[in-house]
Structure 1
Amino acid sequence: MTSTNETLFDHPHPYFKNIKIKDIKPIMCKKFLNYLTSQGYSNRTVKKHTQFDV
């Protein structure tokens, strides 16, 4: 069984397929977050596991 963190970490690759990181736009990220929510993840879980420290 995988943890929520490991599961969310695995999602970007299949979701964004062959898109280079530099080509990912903010709207694409928003759609990805909506996708995660539609897959059954709560808004809190999505927010918690997709925040990045830059």
Structure 2
Amino acid sequence: MKELLPEADIQHVGSTAIPDSVTKGDLDIQVRVSAEQFSIAVELLSNLYDRN
């Protein structure tokens, strides 16, 4: 992901970010880009992941 969007701020959020927590096992991330890069980021990430 960082290779596709090197300028992005990518954060691991949600319960999986807390060590030793009991989770559903899914991974929650936040990807922050500038307004100008938003549509490009959506397109690139949509090719890899389902949007939630």
Q: Same fold (TM over 0.5)?
A: no
Name the structure where helix makes up a greater proportion of residues: 1
If you compute each CA radius of gyration, which structure gives the higher value, 1 or 2? 2
TM-score normalised by length of structure 2? 0.33
